[in-house]
Amino acid sequence: MMRQYELVERVQKYKPDVNEALLNKAYVYAMQKHGQQTRASGDPYISHPLEVAAILTDMHLDESTVAVALLHDTIEDTSATRDEIDTLFGEDIGRLVEGLTKIKKLDLVSRKAKQAENLRKLLLAISDDVRVLLVKLADRLHNMRTLGHMPLEKRARISEETMDIYAPLAGRMGMHDMREELEELSFQNLNPEAYQTISRRLADLSERNADLIKNIENELTELLAQNGLKNAVVKGRQKKPYSVFRKMQSKSLSFEQLSDVWGFRVVVDMVPECYTALGIIHTRWRVVPGRFKDYISTPKQNDYQSIHTTIVGPARQRIELQIRTRRMHDIAEYGIAAHTLYKDGANAAPDGSAVRQSDAYKGLRTTIESLAEGDNPEEFLEHTKLELFQDQVYCFTPKGKLIALPRGATPIDFAYAVHTNVGDTCVGAKINGRIMPLVTRLSNGDEVEIIRSGVQVPPAAWEEIVVTGKARSAIRRATRLAVRKQYSGLGQRILERTFERAGKVFSKDMMKPTVHRLGHREVEDAIAAVGRGELSSLDVLKAVYPDYQDERVTTRQTLEEGWFNVRSAQGMMFKVPEGQKSRLEADPEESEESPQAHPFRGLGGAIEVRFSPSGAVPGDRIVGIHDGKHSITVYPIQSPSLSKFDEQPERWIDIRWDLDEANKSRFKARIIVTGINEPGTLATIAQTIGLADANISILTMIRVAPDFSEMEFDLEVWDLRQLSHLLAQLSDLDCVSTVKRVFD
């Protein structure tokens, strides 16, 4: 275990004027608080904060951050309090320590929800001060190094969390060495067999080719020196097991097929020398086409700068090269922590480039701000993984602004990255000057122009298309708002009648103090829930007037807030509010009128229930419109036809899907496909529909032009998920320009 004086000496090596008193006080306080506590390995617990502090000294961080590392577990695991730490060490250190403390007393059911809430708190603390992230990553790194003493189940869970969250966070901050080590340690626990197999193969390969690596280093160094770059340093390195495994998985390659197991770095003094070195190497050896990237002129979002190229080098060996300055190398190794090496009283870095605030940190803060808008913990966790764990592509707005997106992103993701309002009003996109489908995957260097409409509402199906957490969150929020708007009018009328029967006057202001007790954040959400039948109007009345007693309530009236089932001839169940049953009861005999009508049976009679002409499928939000006699028509909530009944709330019937799995049936959905007008287009579309296990019942050619055709399909599908997947598959076809679902 490291001693107190050794820690001070480590900091003194890069900061001679270190505040020794602060480090000594933090060391003694942590030692006293952790007392006789031990770790799973049996070591004294104080060894953990000491090792975390040592990792931070390797990054040359200031003594305040090192002191936070010593204290980071005191509030969580000892009797220490925030007030006590504020008094002894100052509010700045107290705030950082609290930001690293997990949320202990959360009334949350699932482990995933607890994990998400802890992550949310950590990220919000990071957005205030990046030192929270540096200490947390060092903490996780030491925990991963000592994970072998934990039970297998806990080992796997911690490794998965590290691979999903903390390794990508380190990469996002440009800390590639730490990211690699976190990934290797996680891989070792999550897939030990693959780790051991690849490690053995790499060891054998390294032993056989040790001379080759040294020869390439010497030849490159000599070549650069002969052309005036005498200070250039060339260093070869072998890829890590996880990096090899990931490439084998993504490219579907065997180990023998890998041709770039080794990479070489060329480190020079100044930025112009990077391009000089590139010219020298490309003149001597043949470049591999399509394998050149200039991250110096266009840095990555995490501040990474380097030139990447692949050549067929000595001995006809394929070689990956990275060319960078020494400052770029420090940032590539230490990421955001490296900025402290150049910021003290300097306006320019040693290589001549300007020192600026870290783009990595600014980008992370923007990401955190968008993630913090999530409505529930599970969504937050999902969006965080989406934002952090993907490689990136770089696209441009028409004005030249650079937008970084995850690989596989679409113009919809691009629109939401520009601004949420741009995404919400997006109806089309031009990519490099050509109108392209919104499902097109963007590539590096694409110029994207978003076409907007003021009346657009983002379709719920977009959620299956986008890949960024910000876009997915915004689409879900817009969908919820649209549904809320659809139901809030009905809910308000129901509440007004309920309050009127009770001799009370309803107003939204009266609900504000009680809305949280009703399980909702906003009054409008609660009113919409009443409209959907999810919240009883009587419960709202009792929440606003706790002392209210209705002496006229009977068993029959109490049942009116429940639901009863109606079953179709297809074996499919709808749920209908019991309070609306009296309007739906009919003669007990089944109707035999139209073969297109679906008889639904209630408690005491038969009800004819039809679907709207464009159909509805399980998974759609649906509503029934009563004809005033003995039948209802089922509409998806997005149907424009429902606007005709806005002023007739008494005709609205709230129904829900309740499928009988023993009696499967297909359901109708209508789509319009715009395809290229050439032979084979219809056959390709029909084949795709058939392979997706959907059936075409009606096909109509709406419009045929010299270049394209519009086709309307009435399909029979199992549910909304199958339909969404089919729409995505049709959109990916080369012969299809657009595809959309339509409602009557």
Identify the CA nearest to 635 among candidates 511, 735, 744: 744
Structure confidence at residue 412 (pLDDT): 93
SS3 for 83-101 is HHHHHHHCHHHHHHHHHCC
More confident residue, 536 or 386: 536
**pLDDT of 706 strictly over 80:** no
pLDDT tens for 293-307 read 888 888 876 678 899
Q: Which residues are catalytic?
A: 76-77
Kindly state the average pLDDT of the residues 201-212. Answer: 81
Q: Which residue has the higher pLDDT, 255 or 181?
A: 181
Give residue 543's pLDDT: 84
692 CB-near residues (< 8 Å, 6+ apart): 722, 725, 726, 729
Report the C-alpha gap between 610 and 624 in whole angstroms.
Answer: 9
pLDDT at 582: 40
Beta bridge partners, 405, equal 393
Helix residue ranges per DSSP H, 90-191: 91-99, 111-128, 131-145, 152-161, 167-172, 176-190
Q: Tell me: pLDDT of 604 over 50.
A: no
The whole-number pLDDT of residue 574 equals 54
CATH of domain 667-742: 3.30.70.260
- Residue range 319-333: mean pLDDT, rounded: 86
- Residue 572 phi/psi, 5° resolution? -105, 140
Is the pLDDT confidence value at 368 over 70? no
Least confident of 395-399, 528-532, 716-720: 528-532
Report the Cα 259 to chain-centroid distance in Å. 33
Average pLDDT over residues 644-652: 78
The reply to whether 667-742 shares the fold of 4-190 is no
Asked if 657 and 572 count as a contact pair (C-beta separation under 8 A), the reply is yes
The predicted pLDDT at position 410 comes to: 92
- pLDDT per residue over 496-531, tens digit each? 888 888 888 888 888 888 877 777 778 888 888 887
- pLDDT bracket for residue 450 (50, 70, 90): very high
Most confident listed range (5-14, 345-354, 451-460, 475-484):
5-14
In terms of pLDDT, which residue wins out, 402 or 181? 181
* Number of neighbouring beta carbons within 10 Å of residue 207: 8
Q: Locate the DSSP E strands across 683-730.
A: 695-704, 708-717
Question: Which two three-digit tokens encode residue 318?
Answer: 């394929």
Question: Would you mind telling me the total number of residues written for the chain in this entry?
Answer: 744
- What's the token pair of residue 646? 């806005």
Q: What is the CATH T-level fold of the domain 195-341, as seen in this structure?
A: Beta Polymerase; domain 2 (3.30.460)
CA end-to-end span of the chain: 73
Q: How far apart are CA 615 and CA 626, in angstroms?
A: 17
| Least confident residue range of 22-26, 68-72, 205-209, 711-715 | 205-209
Q: Tell me the average pLDDT of the chain.
A: 78
Q: pLDDT-based confidence at 161, cuts 50/70/90? A: confident
Sign of the C-alpha dihedral, residues 645, 650, 651, 656? positive
User: Is the per-residue pLDDT at 193 higher than 60?
Assistant: yes
User: Would you kindly state where each structural domain of the chain is located, as residue ranges?
Assistant: 4-190, 195-341, 554-662, 667-742
What residue spans of 339-431 are helical by DSSP H?
Answer: 359-371, 377-388, 411-418, 420-424
Q: Tens digit of pLDDT for each residue in 215-226?
A: 888 888 999 999
**pLDDT, average across residues 97-105:** 65
The H-or-E segment that residue 649 falls in is none
Rounded CA separation 498/489 (Å): 14
Is 132 within 8 Å of 164 (Cβ atoms)?
no
Residue 555 has pLDDT above 50, yes or no: no
Is 426 a residue whose pLDDT tops 80? yes
Contact 654, 580 (CB under 8 A): yes
pLDDT at 277: 93
* pLDDT-derived band at 696, boundaries 50, 70, 90: very high
Q: 4-12 and 63-71 are packed helices; what angle lies between their axes, rounded to 10 degrees? A: 150
3-state DSSP call for residue 400? coil
pLDDT of residue 650: 72
Neighbours of 14 (CB within 10 A): 15
- The shares of helix, strand and coil residues in the chain, as percent rounded to the nearest 5, are 50, 20, 35
pLDDT band (50, 70, 90) for residue 384 = low
Q: Does the pLDDT value for residue 85 go beyond 80?
A: yes
4-190: which CATH architecture? Orthogonal Bundle (1.10)
Sign of the CA dihedral running 637, 638, 642, 646: positive
Its pTM stands at 0.53
Q: Is the pLDDT of residue 150 over 50?
A: yes
